[in-house]
Amino acid sequence: MATQRDASFSPNPVIFGEEARSLEYIREFDSVLSASQEAAATVTARTEKYPDLGNPSTLWLAP
């Protein structure tokens, strides 16, 4: 079945609101993790910047 592509379709969707914050949180995680020498520093950095996102107990289990 052939389909026609909508010319207004963007292959890079724009993400708003809480989803955008969650995506930013995930993208920043690796840089925070590599900059931290201790698990406590990683957990503190994440919970200070994003107090309402994530679960601190899962941060303690991050690689």
Any idea where the domains of the chain sit in the sequence?
Answer: 18-60
Using pLDDT thresholds of 50, 70 and 90, give the confidence band for residue 53. Answer: confident
Segment 14-21 shows an average pLDDT of 74
Residue 2 pLDDT > 80: no
Closest among 60, 63, 5 to 34, alpha carbons compared: 63
What is the CB neighbour count within 10 angstroms for residue 60?
11
Please tell me the predicted confidence (pLDDT) of residue 47. Answer: 86
Whether the pLDDT of residue 20 is over 70: the answer is yes
Has this prediction a pTM greater than 0.85?
Answer: no
For the chain, give the mean pLDDT.
76
Cα separation of 34 and 55, whole Å? 19
